[in-house]
């Protein structure tokens, strides 16, 4: 970041609640970094006001919205979802992060457990990982057979087409980070006692299996980046920019009433 001049506007921002938090939270005061963080958070806050309008439009119009967050381990999916949902009404949205399937679910049609989580009219559902586990995570780690993988890849586009044709808004985000950035984030998670629970056995092998993940990710994009439901790739090495980009894209896609009062 380049050197900045403290304008009157900058001073006002640093004296705000967001600015003071960004300024005083680190052990060492860094004006430049604090201004960078607080200005991004201010922009996020403006978009969060729009998210309230989106939710109001969803509720009143009995709309159904599904937002998928995919990406490598530690790519920032959970943090982005928190920014989307921070101020909207918890009675009208859900965050779905399914655990491994039960024995009964293993014998069901693969998509059934996800169908059970789809939004009712007037609801937004955010998937922190989704049915696309079968496109990347499962084959990389040996959690599905080759036949199960190919069946999924042959069915997923038709499944999503049915959702869209059933008046469901479906947005697919893929948060993309570099191998080096993932290693830095894993190191931070391991040394922070409040974050260590995030590190799973699958995460522990992610660096070692990086190229295998890349192979299956590319196959997923080639097969499922459709005109009807395209992938939105979010460059996520910088968390703040990634969150802002994702919310902006969501607001551009959803045809809500921007003139609503909140």
Encode pLDDT of 116-128 as tens digits. Answer: 999 999 999 999 9
Instruction: Find out whether 14 and 20 touch, Cβ atoms under 8 Å.
Output: yes
User: What percentage of the chain reaches a pLDDT higher than 70?
Assistant: 87
> What value does the mean pLDDT of the chain take?
91
Kindly state whether residue 131 falls inside one of the protein's structural domains. yes
pLDDT, mean of residues 92-105: 96
β-pair partners for 164 = none
Question: For the whole model, what pTM was predicted?
Answer: 0.88
Return the ∠ at Cα 32 (arms to 26 and 37), rounded to 5°. 65
Domain region containing 236:
62-253
Kindly state whether residue 201 falls inside one of the protein's structural domains. yes
Kindly state whether residue 96 falls inside one of the protein's structural domains. yes
Residue 206's SS3 state is coil
pLDDT, mean of residues 239-248: 97
Q: Which residues contact 72 (CB under 8 A, 6 or more apart)?
A: 175, 176, 177, 182, 206, 213
Number of domains forming the structure of the chain: 1
The CATH code of the domain that includes 101 is 3.40.50.300
pLDDT, mean of residues 224-232: 98
pLDDT score of 245: 98
């Amino acid at each position: 970041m380049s050197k900045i001049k403290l304008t009157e506007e900058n001073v006002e921002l640093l004296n705000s609640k967001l600015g003071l938090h960004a300024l005083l939270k680190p052990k060492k005061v860094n004006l430049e970094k604090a201004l960078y963080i607080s200005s991004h958070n201010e922009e996020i806050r403006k978009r969060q006001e729009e998210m309230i309008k989106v939710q109001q439009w969803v509720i009143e119009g009995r709309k159904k919205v599904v937002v998928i967050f995919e990406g490598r381990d530690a790519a920032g999916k959970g943090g982005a979802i928190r920014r989307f949902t921070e101020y909207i009404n918890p009675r009208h949205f859900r965050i779905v992060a399914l655990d491994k399937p039960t024995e009964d679910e293993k014998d069901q049609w693969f998509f059934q457990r996800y169908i059970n989580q789809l939004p009712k009219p007037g609801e937004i559902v955010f998937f922190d990982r989704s049915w696309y586990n079968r496109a990347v995570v499962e084959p990389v780690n040996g959690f599905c057979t080759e036949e199960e993988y190919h069946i999924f890849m042959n069915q997923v586009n038709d499944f999503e087409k049915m959702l869209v044709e059933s008046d469901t808004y479906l947005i697919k985000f893929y948060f993309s980070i570099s191998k080096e950035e993932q290693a830095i984030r894993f190191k931070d998670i391991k040394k922070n006692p409040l974050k260590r629970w995030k590190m799973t056995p699958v995460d522990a092998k992610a660096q070692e299996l990086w190229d295998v993940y890349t192979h299956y990710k590319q196959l997923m994009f080639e097969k499922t980046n459709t005109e009807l439901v395209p992938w939105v790739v979010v460059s996520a090495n910088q968390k703040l920019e990634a969150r802002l980009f994702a919310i902006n894209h969501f607001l551009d896609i959803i045809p809500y009433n921007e003139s609503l009062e909140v």
